[in-house]
Amino acid sequence: MAANMRGLTQFIADIRGARVRELEEKRINKEMANIRKKFKDGNLDGYQKKKYVAKIIFTYILGYKVDIGHLEAVNLISSSKYSEKQIVCLSFTGDGNSLALVQGYLAVTLLMHENSDFLRLVVNSIRKDLDENNEVHNCLALHAIANVGSSEMAEALAEDVHRLLISPTSMTFVKKKAALTLLRLYRKRPEVIPAVEWALRLVSLMDDQDLGVVLCVTSLITALAQDHPDAFAVCYTKAVDRLHRIGIEHEYSGIYTYYKVPAPWLQVKLLRLLQYYPPTEDMTLKNVLNETLQTIMTSSAEPSRNVQHNNAQNAVLFEAISLAIHLDTRSPLVDTAAVLLARFISSKETNVRYLGLDTMAHLAARSETLDPLKKHQGTIILSLRDKDISVRRRALDLLYSMCDVDNSELIVGELLRYLKVADYVLREEMVLKIAILTEKYASSYKWYVDTILQLISAAGDHVGEEVWYRVVQIVTNTEDLQAYAARVVFEYLKTPSVHESLVKVGGYILGEYGHLIANEPGYSPIEQFQVLHSKSQFCVAPTRSILLSTYIKWVNVFPEIKPQLINIFERYRHVLDAELQQRACEYYALACLPDDNEMLQNVCEEMPPFPPRVSGLTSRLNRKMTDTEDKRTWIHGGREINLEQQQMTTLVRPKQAELPVNDSATASGTADSAVLNALAGLDLTVPSEAGESAPAPRLTVGPSIDKWYQKLTYSAEGVLYEDVQIQIGIKSRFQGYLGQLAIYFGNKVSAPLTSFTSTIYVSDSAALSATFAKIPANVLAPRTQSQQLLQVECKKVFTCPPILTVSFLAGAYQSISIRLPVIVTKFSEGVKFGQADFFERWKLIGGFPREAQVVFPISLDAAGHIDLPHNRRIVSGNHFEILDGIDPNPSNIVGAAVLHTSVEGKVGCLLRLEPNREAKLCRLTVRSTSEEVATAVQRLVETALRME
């Protein structure tokens, strides 16, 4: 078919053959005129249309402007129908039809810009192709959407793409493309994707058989999870499970190994995804994760000779190290990582050195102890002289991060030495960093002043205003330092060439504290004046005005040089610069006042100390870091800064949730925190819980669900849930404050339930913890049962039972959320009392508020009697020891129990149940040493009794 397009072949040959550009243009003009004529005439068959559109595309690819043929391209897309009619007579049309389609799409993706009006025409054709069963057409449509990716398309088609992604009948490659298309649309228009709504369904795709699909879906989820961490929280387990299966169980097909590394891209993506979540609390997950990371690290310990193998291995390894650091800096894994990193930073390969330093900076930013890093300080300092600038930059960042009180002098000294030879692009940042480190870790003020002045004199132009402001602030606020500072500054000013910033510092400090050293030899007022004034002619107007202020201060403290100073004011009164002139005039008038006037003295009072203020330097540094696409999980600098940053993000997060969340929100987020940093003097650290708790899953409702649940509250085993596809059963055992639930999932259909996920939601994790013993398998074979062990621990009294959410794919996506029969009384244990004992305690506890009482109607059994055995079953099912013979009325029940909690200890609990047959009422009284327990137990028993 393609071979038959002779016109096209000829056209391309002609253009290729054109010797000069002008000839080429002529040929194209001619062809275009021809095509215009043909299109105008109309009546083209599919072949011709295709040929001409192909020519137009070729012309467009060559870089010529094309403004015709769009309509024809659009027509081509919908041509499949047309061609299908032809299929009977033309045997090759099946092929040709998709070719035409390819061309149509090619034309659309190439010729149309995002805002083209024609796109509206295309949307419907694309939707039709998405709906079709032909996966080739699906893919073409997906390509077109991803390439053009206009917002209009995103709005119209996101739903269809999503459907294609989750459809069980989609081929794997369609799924892959759909996932990536969705990612592209999300990046373009985040608001059109209902991420939260789709979250669970998307996450379930991470269990796909095909690693390629998993890779694509993980990319998508990584993007979405950054903005909606809570909605996608389930992916944590999935990611850990997948990593475990790849890394340890080697569950992957051979084609996914790349130079002996299994699915490196997927591993990297998963490891990265995990870093966007706070470290998990779940011990099982933690163990699995540690094991996996351990395996990755040990397997990468040996560098191979194959470059590609090394690359793949290192990619996974560095991500794994980052994750290990993110999870817990104290774990033995991090120690292993530190050893590995040490080897990397002295590697021969630039890339490895770079990554090594970067990851080490991460470690330094998070780690509590810097000791393992300090061993390699020499190597890192050497890296400052690396031949690659990006490596030098990383080394600088790392040194900045790993600086603390012990090594600050060494590091700052080294940085100062390096500053003189550093690249210009690095210098400004270096100056800032040195200034911050010097201030933060100054062991003595002398050292501080020495270093900073050395910095100013060495870096000169790269010193921002903030740096010298800060010096002045600190010197003013520290009285012991003033004389010393004045002396040192004076010495610096004596050198023949002095940078202007130093003149400013000198002017200020000598003006304020020059008199402190005036009596020492070599520092007399006239000498100070001469040295300072000799610099003034090289300075710009703002510096000179600072010097004028210095002089007026001197008029006050050094009357002996007053004539010289007045002379200078006199001269400056005629300067053209308005600011200087004004100052000179005012100071002149002030200086010429009679001696007995105290005006001058009052004006030139010594500066009061500055109010303590947070250094502006750090915020300046942070502002310089611009984050673009992927959010970073840490920033350079010490541990405190990172902790602070985390607080900031939790503060900012609720705001983000309200905003239409997109990537730019990241920028605004960091900008916000920068502002907050700058205002850090104010107390903004209000603890906020807003972002913390995830919304509770919505409970599944059904006629028998409540009944099943209630029954289980007072029995140890039974059915919790059942429908046509699945049955969930429970066996439970409680011992003190610990309990173990065996949950049985039974698949009742003849197809496997895939992507089987069960999660536990606990509303108050401080009171109750519930964890699965191991990560459940994600496939439930047909007509089988699987068991999962759930460990529960009662820490405090709680009221809400944990919620089990089970989701799986059985054709469609199903999700069931049900309460687990884990209630506070399950953790109690019956105790036996004699009558006297019981009443003594009963009285001891007393009435309200430690008593909870309720009267409620009851139903009688068939014979019209109180259903005593039933009541007894409920009370004992709630783990109360039934004490007979305490209450004279046999239908009354008296019980006692002790509740075990791991945090609050044991709580005693007494119960009386007094049914009344005539009134069909029942009174339930619970007394407990804890008010909460009393209320909670009373509610539980009451609900159980009422159910009948």
Partner 1 sequence: MISAFFIFNQKGEVLISRLYRTDFKRSIADVFRIQVISNSDVRSPIITLGSTSFFHVRVNNLYVVAVTKTNANAALVFEYCYRLISIAKSYFGKVDEEAVKNNFVLIYELIDEINDFGYPQNSETDTLKSYITTESIMSSAYAAEESSKITTQATGATSWRRGEVKYKKNEAFVDVVETVNLSMSAKGTALRADVDGHIQMRAYLSGTPECKFGLNDKLVIDKNERGASDAVELDDCRFHQCVRLNEFDATRTISFIPPDGEFELMRYRCTSNVKLPLRIIPTVNEIGTTQVSYTVSVKGNFGTKLSATNVVLKIPTPLNTTTVDCKVASGKAKYVPAENIVVWKIPRIQGGQECTFTATADLTSTTVRQVWARPPIDVDFQVLMFTASGLIVRFLKVFEKNNYHSIKWVRYLTKASGSYQIRF
Site residues for partner 1 per CB under 8 A: 19-21, 26-27, 29-30, 32-34, 36-37, 39-40, 67-68, 70, 116-118
Q: Which is nearer to partner 1, 23 or 382 (CB)?
A: 23
Q: Which is nearer to partner 1, 20 or 701 (CB)?
A: 20
The values of phi and psi at residue 137, to 5°, are: -65, -40
- Give DSSP secondary structure letters for 527-539: HHHHHHHHHHTTS
Q: How far is the CB of 68 from partner 1 (least distance, A)?
A: 6
Q: Which is nearer to partner 1, 116 or 788 (CB)?
A: 116
Q: Which is nearer to partner 1, 112 or 431 (CB)?
A: 112
Q: Are 73 and 126 in contact (CB under 8 A)?
A: no
Gap between the Cα atoms of 413 and 421, Å rounded: 14
Tokens standing for residue 273 = 């995804």
Gap between the Cα atoms of 327 and 565, Å rounded: 65
Q: Which is nearer to partner 1, 66 or 345 (CB)?
A: 66
Helix (H, G, I), strand (E, B) or coil at 403: coil
Helix (H, G, I), strand (E, B) or coil at 2: coil
- Burial zone of 691 (CB within 10 Å; 0-12 exposed, 13-18 middle, 19+ buried): middle
Q: Are 130 and 161 in contact (CB under 8 A)?
A: yes
- Give, to the nearest 10 degrees, the angle between helix 481-494 and helix 500-517: 130
Tokens standing for residue 750 = 């003849």
Q: How far is the CB of 46 from partner 1 (least distance, A)?
A: 20
Q: How far is the CB of 30 from partner 1 (least distance, A)?
A: 4
Q: Which is nearer to partner 1, 144 or 676 (CB)?
A: 144
The values of phi and psi at residue 359, to 5°, are: -70, -35
Cβ contacts of 299 within 8 Å, gap of 6 or more: 313
- Give, to the nearest 10 degrees, the angle between helix 424-440 and helix 445-459: 170
Q: Which is nearer to partner 1, 116 or 791 (CB)?
A: 116
Which residue in 327, 339, 407, 405 sits closest to 367, CA to CA? 327
Gap between the Cα atoms of 643 and 367, Å rounded: 11
Q: Which is nearer to partner 1, 36 or 571 (CB)?
A: 36
Query: Amino acid identity of 245?
Result: R
Which residue in 716, 736, 740, 735 sits closest to 792, CA to CA? 740
Q: Which is nearer to partner 1, 30 or 417 (CB)?
A: 30
Q: How far is the CB of 105 from partner 1 (least distance, A)?
A: 17
Cβ contacts of 176 within 8 Å, gap of 6 or more: 212, 213, 215, 216
CA-CA-CA-CA dihedral for 223, 229, 232, 234, to nearest 10? 130
Q: Are 553 and 601 in contact (CB under 8 A)?
A: no
Q: How far is the CB of 128 from partner 1 (least distance, A)?
A: 23
CB atoms within 10 A of CB 683: 6
Which contiguous run of DSSP H or E holds residue 916?
A: strand 905-916
Q: Which is nearer to partner 1, 40 or 348 (CB)?
A: 40
Q: How far is the CB of 124 from partner 1 (least distance, A)?
A: 19
Tokens standing for residue 457 = 């004199």
Q: Which is nearer to partner 1, 103 or 367 (CB)?
A: 103
